[in-house]
Amino acid sequence: MEVKPLLVSVWRGGADGHFEEFEVPRRASQTVLDVVTFIQRHLDPTLAYRFACRVGMCGSCAMTVNGTPRWTCRTHVDKVAKAGRVEIGPLANMPVVRDLVADMREFFDKWARARGQFKPTATRHDEFVVVKPESRERREADAGIECIGCGVCYAACDVVKWKDTYLGPAALNRAWTLVNDVRDGGQRARLAAVAGDAGCHSCHTLMSCTRHCPKGISPTRSIAGLKRATLGVDPGEAP
Amino acid sequence: MSARVEARLWVVQRATAAVLALCVVVHLATIIYAVRGGLSAAEILARTRGSFAWGSFYAVFVIAAAAHGSIGLRAVAMEWLGWGKGSAVALMLAVALTFVALGLRAVFAMVAS
């Protein structure tokens, strides 16, 4: 029996763009990224999209698939197609560059604003710090460390949508992994940065980030940890 | 708003939520008990007048509710009405003081008048 082609609506243009329809042949184990790649290689070479590793490591290919933010390289068409149709758009809560490419500058700038940089306290002449795998800090850091920076949580977050200064789940999750890094020396400034009103206290525990994270991380849990940790913030520290 | 104030408002709202959880249960149980044979002002006042226990319970209830609700309204004003921090804090303080004044006046009337 011949399999019907997939009907795909793809966002074209910038913020004021529109959806364009394509027909893409079905394949076994086809991913949404395969579909987008097929369109660009065979139907319309002007389609703009972003990808790199194709195996769920790099965090480049996240898009909005049928209204839900997803990593497209590891999302099978069989799982998301409804009545033989799929709608693919750029990630929400970010400016559209063109077609399926969202501008992630603000997203990553917020990691920096949340003091997501490691601040070393030792030099190459010091001994290695021993961090026991079973220690509480190591386990807390482990729970959030596998983030690939894909922006799915940020696109799923309602607080990001209505409060554009909010640092967002990914940046706060990053901050929490560093708060639990015993080698880091930037804790006071970090806790002050994430405790401002653009930080962890703006989270309403809606848990969209946790529900949509493709890596199974719970930024909600990390943010709850930050809320507790900020109780010890030094009053003299400016964010 | 400084980081310290944000953190403190958060912990005050958390702590008052815990207090309210207990107070609301006691309050609801009292309502169910109090209306069992019809509700009358005389019956209520007979129970509360001169009672230090009921007076302090409802004073705590009033203060916790005023703090909890006003901190929540501050967030609602900023996120949903787009108010600036200054006016949202003014709203929070005004609501808190109004609720405390009205509530404690009622507690006073119930216990000491």
pLDDT of A156-187, one tens digit each? 999 999 888 999 999 999 999 999 999 999 99
User: For chain A, what percent of residues have pLDDT higher than 90?
Assistant: 92
Query: What kind and span of H or E run contains B30?
Result: helix B3-34
Q: What is the pTM of this model?
A: 0.88
Residue B24 has pLDDT above 50, yes or no: yes
If phi > 0 it is left, if psi is from -120 to 50 it is alpha, else beta; for residue A132 that is: beta
Does the interface ipTM go beyond 0.90? no
Model pLDDT for residues B28-85, shown as the tens digit of each residue: 999 999 888 788 888 889 889 999 999 999 999 999 999 999 999 999 998 889 899 8
B81 close to A (CB below 8 A): no
Residue A199 has pLDDT above 80, yes or no: yes
Closest chain B residue to A194, measured at CA: B3
A161 close to B (CB below 8 A): no
DSSP B57-89: HHHHHHHHHHHHHHHHHHHHHHHHS---HHHHH
**E strands present in A80-150:** 85-89, 96-98, 101-102
Which of A34-48, A124-138, A222-236, B13-27 is predicted least confidently?
A222-236
* pLDDT level of residue B7 (50, 70, 90 thresholds): confident
CB A54 within 8 A of CB A33: yes
A163 close to B (CB below 8 A): yes
Residue A21 has pLDDT above 60, yes or no: yes
Q: What is the mean pLDDT of residues A2-28?
A: 95
Please give the Cα distance from B110 to A121 (Å, whole number): 61
Closest chain B residue to A192, measured at CA: B3
Please give the Cα distance from A163 to A43 (Å, whole number): 39
Please give the Cα distance from B6 to A200 (Å, whole number): 9
Residue A238, pLDDT score: 47
B76 close to A (CB below 8 A): no
The backbone torsions φ and ψ at residue A233, rounded to the nearest 5 degrees and listed phi first, read -65, 135
Please give the Cα distance from A184 to A28 (Å, whole number): 47
Residue A239, pLDDT score: 43
Which of A84-88, A92-96, A140-144, B45-49 is predicted least confidently?
B45-49
Residue A235, pLDDT score: 47
Residue A62 has pLDDT above 50, yes or no: yes
**Residue A207, class by beta-carbon neighbours within 10 Å (0-12 exposed, 13-18 middle, 19+ buried)?**
middle
Give residues with Cβ within 8 angstroms of B20, minimum separation 6.
B61, B64, B65, B68
Q: What is the mean pLDDT of residues A12-37?
A: 97
* pLDDT level of residue A234 (50, 70, 90 thresholds): low
Nearest CA distance, B69 vs chain A (angstrom): 15
Residue A1, pLDDT score: 61
